[in-house]
Amino acid sequence: MDVKQIQELIRFVAKAGVTEVSLEQGDFKITIKTQGEERAPQAVHQVYQVPAQAAAPAPVAAPAAPAAIPAAVDNTITIKSPMIGTFYQKPSPDKDPFVKVGDKINKGQVVCVIEAMKLFNEIEAEVSGTIVKILVNDSSPVEYDQPLFVIEP
Amino acid sequence: MDSIFIGKNYTFLVSTDSTNTRLKELLKLENVLEGTVISAGFQTDGRGQRGATWESKADENILLSILLHPKFLSIQQQFLLSQAIAIAVQKFINYYLKDQVVKIKWPNDIFVGNKKIAGMLIENILEANFIKYSIVGIGINIKQLEVLPTATSLKLESNMEYDHKQLEKDLFYFIEKEYLLLRSGAYAIIKETYLNSLLGFNEVRKFYITQSEQEMLGKILGVLDNGMLTIKDDSSGIHHTFDLKEIKFL
């Protein structure tokens, strides 16, 4: 869902006169509450809470709302290098890579090896998900904290 | 000489792909005790440094992997483990070849004179900022008589016969001793012992610099915590620091 769709949703909620709308699409959740509501806000676990600007029946453009929305509506997770070394995508040069873009991976699965001084470190995925991007080329040097993979949980 | 925990849980395979791979596979299936050893008579996919295979014939060498749990080491301290194991293997070889010059060739090969007798490959499995498991793969040439001109074996050096099981037992003792020293936090002792066992330490010798494609006469002054080698250029007096692929010993 992009910013424009969220704006539209806010307008829709404002027009409809409802107090609260929750929407879920895959891993993306949004809850919009109007200020007219008397109840104390519930502790709902959600990614974003966008307050609708007004409950008035008149068409409201919700002018301030977009600014309140974080720019990146992004739920991906980045695996970073825990050390300086050389990044290897394969267990050995003649083998298949540990993971490819589009692969479903499980938490704890080895995604790459980082070598420094003949010590080979297996890097495990901290979450389950799908590999969206591989940010480093095989056999290239990596810095501490350098992003290696983008995963969509 | 007996070890307390290394080699107490021991498996010998007549032939396997690689003992490191076997140990890693075992780790996926069950909880493996620290000190567990998988040894092989022959490896079809034994590995030296990335891509380089470890040449061996059946039952001529020690080919084994030891599982350690060095949780006390952070990722940044892992070179200490490599140093401790290299010291142990150097001491083990020196125990059998008392009259020869046995040294560690940076970072962790073992040399008798200018010939390689042993090597290792350490694989770590990380957890947060620490080393959860280390699979220490060691290869030592024992009976091999046909070796490369740059290699040697215990038998070639001594002309003696060795009992494989006894050699392994002694090796476990030496490794355990250094590992326990490491676990006790005696890092300064390990670094000092390593440096004093290092081939070319404080001696002028010839190196090849990969980047400039030039030879250099220099003296090894030390090794940084991350394992990088510091060499003083003999002609200019300038200190240089080298990573593994940036320099060769000539």
Q: Are B124 and B131 in contact (CB under 8 A)?
A: yes
Rounded to the nearest integer, the mean pLDDT of chain A is: 75
Cβ-Cβ contacts under 8 Å, B107 against chain A = 117-118
Range of the domain at B135: 10-196
Is A87 in CB contact (< 8 Å) with chain B?
A: no
Residues A145 and A72 in one domain: yes
A36 DSSP 8-state letter: T
Q: Do B122 and A123 touch (CB under 8 A)?
A: no
- Quote the minimal CA–CA distance from B108 to chain A in Å: 8
Record the tokens describing residue B119, joined without a space.
Answer: 């090597």
Confirm whether A76 is domain-assigned: yes
Judge whether residue A61 has pLDDT over 50: no
Q: What is the mean pLDDT of residues A129-152?
A: 96
Rounded to the nearest integer, the mean pLDDT of chain B is: 93
Residue B230's domain is classified under what CATH number?
2.30.30
Q: What is the mean pLDDT of residues B109-131?
A: 94
Which residue of A lies nearest to B137 if distances are taken between CA atoms?
A: A119
Residues B216 and B183 in one domain: no
Can you give the pTM of this predicted structure? 0.79
Residues B238 and B154 in one domain: no
Q: What is the mean pLDDT of residues B210-223?
A: 95
**pLDDT of B128:** 79
Cis peptide upstream of residue B149 (ω within 30 degrees of 0)? no
> CA torsion angle for B68, B19, A85, B182 (degrees, to 10)?
20
How many folded domains does chain B comprise? 2
Residues A133 and A77 in one domain: yes
Range of the domain at A8: 3-53
Of the candidates A83, A88, A122, the beta carbon closest to that of B76 is on: A83
**pLDDT of B1:** 81
ipTM exceeding 0.95, yes/no: no
* A78-102 tens-digit pLDDT: 999 999 999 999 988 888 999 999 9
* B169-193 tens-digit pLDDT: 999 999 999 999 999 999 999 999 9
Which residue carries 């969509």 as its tokens? A152
Q: How confident is the model at residue A34 (pLDDT cuts 50, 70, 90)?
A: low
* A132-141 tens-digit pLDDT: 999 999 999 9
Cβ-Cβ contacts under 8 Å, B126 against chain A = 82, 121-124
How many folded domains does chain A comprise? 2
DSSP-assigned letters across all residues of chain B: ---SSTTSSEEEESSBS-HHHHHHHHHHHS---TT-EEEES-BSS-BSSTT-B----TTSEEEEEEEE--TTSBGGGHHHHHHHHHHHHHHHHHHH-TTS-EEEETTTEEEETTEEEEEEEEEEEEETTEEEEEEEEEEEESS--S--TTB--HHHHH-----HHHHHHHHHHHHHHHHHHHHTT-HHHHHHHHHHTBTTBTSEEEEEETTTTEEEEEEEEEE-TTS-EEEEETTT--EEEE-GGGEEE-
**pLDDT of A55:** 46
Confirm whether B4 is domain-assigned: no
Q: How confident is the model at residue A64 (pLDDT cuts 50, 70, 90)?
A: very low
